[in-house]
A and B are shown apart, each in its own frame.
Chain A
Amino acid sequence: MAENILEVIKLNKAYGALQATKNLSFSVARGHIHAIIGPNGAGKTTLVNQLTGDILSDSGKILFQAQDISRLKDYRRARLGIARSFQITHIFENLTVAENMALSICAHSSHNFRFWRKGLQSGVVREKLADCLSRVDLEKRGHIVASALSHGEKRQLEVGMALTGQPDLLILDEPMAGMGPGGTVELSKLIQKLKGSTTILLVEHDMDVVFSLADMITVLVYGENILTAPPAEIRQNKDVQAAYLGEQD
């Protein structure tokens, strides 16, 4: 059995009467692309936010590399090697594309109390910036203020920023949201390329993408894990079809 990088144990989160995450347990094997699917309102984004620390869980445990991170602040978890992209684009709209990327690169240095040298010219940034930009096809857009990018480009930047630190676990929350077919293909290729070097937890609506990329899929319905299995098994499972796949057509 492969070593698990992430273990989620009996996680709960309620908003008033609404149980967004219900006694949820699953584990993610190192090196896998693990997809989370589920109908709208299944609690996918809530789960992501619980994992990254944007939301504190009511109860349950999150073990990352065998360390309990359930009570750590978001920036501490990021420091441990969990990177994420947001479903709704979170980029620094007031900075240029290059500055956005530079900031993500700098984030992984021990500290950034560096007041004098230009941020864009600091060693780590010069070393990595070009690669980081070209990885998400933004090398020609570096000087543009991020707010002026097209929606698709903003999504590319969003994912690109999550990738800069070579995270151990990359959580992608609907990275394809609002992307055209071309963008979706490009991004799928990128995710495929990352496979092996990093573990990816992928929350995605596009079933073609999920079934072509994922090693393992967890199906979430009303905050509960109804099945975690390889794609082939998921496709044939009657519960899953009833809960989710049937709604697609």
Chain B
Amino acid sequence: MKKLSRKNILIAAGALFFLVLPVAATLLEETYFISLFSRILIYAIAAVSLDLLLGFAGMISLGHAAYVGIGAYVVGIFFFHSSEAEPLFTFPFLLQGSESGLLVLPLAVLISALFALVIGALCLRTKGMHFIMITLAFAQMIYYFFISLGKYGGDDGISLYSRSSLPLLDLNSDLTFYYFCLFFLFLFVFFAKRLVDSRFGLIIRGGSNNERRLSALGINPYKYKLACFVIAGGAAGLAGGLLANQTEYISPGLMHWTLSGELMVMVLLGGLGTLFGPVLGAAVFLLLEEILAMYTEHWMVYMGPFLVLVVIFAKKGLFGIIVGEKNDNG
């Protein structure tokens, strides 16, 4: 049974806000907000996926941007080959480029998840500080790999001339694209909510607190942590694929550790270990950036202290402040 708690009211209000925002923006003729909020929705997906690692599984990954970047590059590379009418590779089978969203978006998820599987399998052999550093190292390796990839623009990246094509939907319309992103955010948050309450979620959350007890119960924590790492990586890939569509431009910057750091800030700001917090965090972070940047290019000078205050005074971030600290996971 759903209770009419502050938490549920806030979540419903948030969902409603996202649903009616484009209508309001259109009426006010401020359509710029639609693309700004599309961006927020996409970052929110990435931030929620990172929070699965940070807040629920206790894995401090400082390389989450790598999976966002890989997802974006999947979309970008397929687009590039499609517009050049040149196959990606001919051996062992012929693979043509594509602009079809039905192909490239699932591929963005799959390939990011695959990278997360390989990288996670290695990183999870370490713990604590070593884990943080090795996730960072892998992400930076991928970043430099793409910088040196001259074919796909190297440092400069690739511009896409249009968004992925879908049957019935025209993603080139900002309004359609907004709702497309919103759909995925709702879907993912719903999935994540089920996930953290499931048996898998119990193990993940328990393991973040006491891995030794988990082993004593007969559970090998490694497998479950890796699965969680892969799920988070796949979701970040989805965010990346959407982001490539949103900006119609990809560059290695998407894999840089500063993006990993920004995602982490969104999680901390919104509420570590909550599912709706990171959505709030992404919105507040990007809006503040937008607003502060109007006044000064050194907007981080103001963002920094704000983040420090939130982190010091609210264990569960802004979400925790609004709904009350007691709500453990939202």
Contact = CB atoms under 8 A, between A and B. Distances in A.
A122 B328 contact: no
B191 to A, nearest CB: 8
Residue among A75, A91, A113, A118 facing the most chain B CB atoms (10 A cut-off): A75
Interface in A74-126: 74-76, 78-79, 83-84, 86, 90-95, 99-100, 102-104, 106-109, 112-120, 122
B300 interface: no
A60 B153 CA distance: 61
Contact of A113 (B197, B218, B227): B227
A91 B197 CA distance: 18
B224 interface: yes
B212 interface: yes
B209 A108 contact: no
A55 to B, nearest CB: 12
| Size bracket, chain A contacts | 35 or more
Interface in B307-330: 328
A208 B212 CA distance: 31
A175 interface: no
Contact of B218 (A78, A92, A94, A117): A78
A161 interface: yes
Interface residues of B, number: 26
B174 to A, nearest CB: 33
Q: Is the interface of B mostly helix, strand, loop or mixed?
A: helix
Contacts of A107: 214, 217-219
A104 B214 CA distance: 8
Nearest to A108: B218
A95 B209 contact: yes
Given A112-B200, A116-B194, A119-B197, A92 B206 contact: yes
B35 to A, nearest CB: 33
B219 A116 contact: no
A104 B217 contact: yes
B220 A75 contact: yes
A223 interface: no
A52 B217 CA distance: 11
A112 B199 contact: yes
B210 A93 contact: yes
Interface string A146-180: 00000000000000011001000000000000000
A239 interface: no
Contacts of A131: none
A145 interface: yes
B159 interface: no
9 contacts: A52-B216, A75-B219, A78-B219, A83-B216, A94-B206, A115-B198, A117-B198, A161-B213, A165-B217
